Amino acid sequence: MRFYSKLVYFGTLVLFFGCSHKLQTNSVDFVDYQISKSAPVDSTMVRFLNPYGSKMQATMGKVIGISKQGLSKKQPESAIGNFMSDAMKASAEKVFNKQVDAAFVNYGGVRSYFPKGDITIGLVYELMPFDNLVVLQQLSGTLLQQLLDKTAVDGGWPVSGISMEIKDKKAVKVMIAGKPLDPLTTYTIANSDYVANGGSDCPFLKPIPQENKGYTLRDALIDQIQRMTAAGKTIDAELENRVTLSKD
């Protein structure tokens, strides 16, 4: 188990119900309890939590794949980012039943890494703890260039289906499926609903209609790993010069 806080907050909320069915808060009290290794064990609480903890550990500890090597996070391109964006693109094509030209994972959304060896559901949750949904948007080449320029300002995002260089905080030499980006072409893009709704400083995406099937990016990762395992494959993402820094 991983513990992310040394403080536990307990609150008491007292509600009084009147005949008019209105709810009124009478009092709210909070007490901070410092948690340390020297604190005595509350056996009653342990007995209460054990059944839930056992079920959680069984689920999160389930091995769904094997990583041939450790996959870490870095910019402008990373092995873990390539795996995530590829999984997003492949899973989106299956779920939405259509070709996806490119997929994006915002760099800040990559929260962990994959170690070499067994990959569990718990590790996927650590990598993607948010319930972000995979959505599709139809972007003009001009708007896609704007999104790519935004990723360049950030130092590079994980992308699938695209290669580009970063020069003066702009995306240059952009290729999609081996062809130069065309400002007049409309592209089908997979993104998280967070970014599509304007997050990560992408307000220009918010007006664009979204196709949404309630499918999380985390499930896209899990599904991709399970497909690879079923096919006898290990996770073995590599750097492919998808996003590079211009030498010009």
For residue 128, give the nearest of 115, 112, 116, 117 by alpha carbon: 112
3-state secondary structure of 131: coil
What pLDDT, on the 0 to 100 scale, is given for residue 19? 54
- Dist. CA 138–CA 203, nearest whole Å: 15
- Over the stretch 82-117, which tens digit does the pLDDT of each residue have? 999 999 999 999 999 999 999 999 999 999 999 999
Question: So what's the pLDDT on residue 45?
Answer: 83
Cβ atoms < 10 Å from Cβ of 174 = 21
Please state whether the peptide bond connecting residue 158 to the residue before it is cis, i.e. omega within 30 degrees of 0: no
In this structure, what are the phi and psi dihedrals at residue 162, rounded to the nearest 5 degrees?
A: -135, 145
Residue 10, pLDDT score: 42
Q: At what angle do helices 79-96 and 217-230 cross, to 10 degrees?
A: 90
Yes or no: say if 101 and 188 are a contact pair by the CB < 8 Å rule: yes
- pLDDT band, very low/low/confident/very high, at 9 (cuts 50, 70, 90): very low
pLDDT of residue 36: 80
| pLDDT at residue 242, rounded to an integer | 97
pTM to 2 decimals? 0.81
CB 89 within 8 A of CB 103: yes
Structure tokens, 17: 């119900």
| Confidence at 20, pLDDT banded by 50, 70, 90 | low
Contact 101, 161 (CB under 8 A): yes
Q: How far apart are CA 139 and CA 149, in angstroms?
A: 14
Among 29-33, 73-77, 147-151, 197-201, name the one with the lowest average pLDDT: 29-33
Examine the pLDDT at 7 and tell me if it is beyond 60.
no
Q: How confident is the model at residue 26 (pLDDT cuts 50, 70, 90)?
A: confident
**pLDDT tens per residue, range 126-135:** 999 999 999 9
- pLDDT confidence band for 52 (50 / 70 / 90): confident
Spell out the domain ranges in the chain.
7-60, 64-245
Q: Among 3.40.720.10, 3.40.50.880, 3.90.780.10, 3.60.15.10, name the CATH number for the domain at 64-245.
A: 3.90.780.10
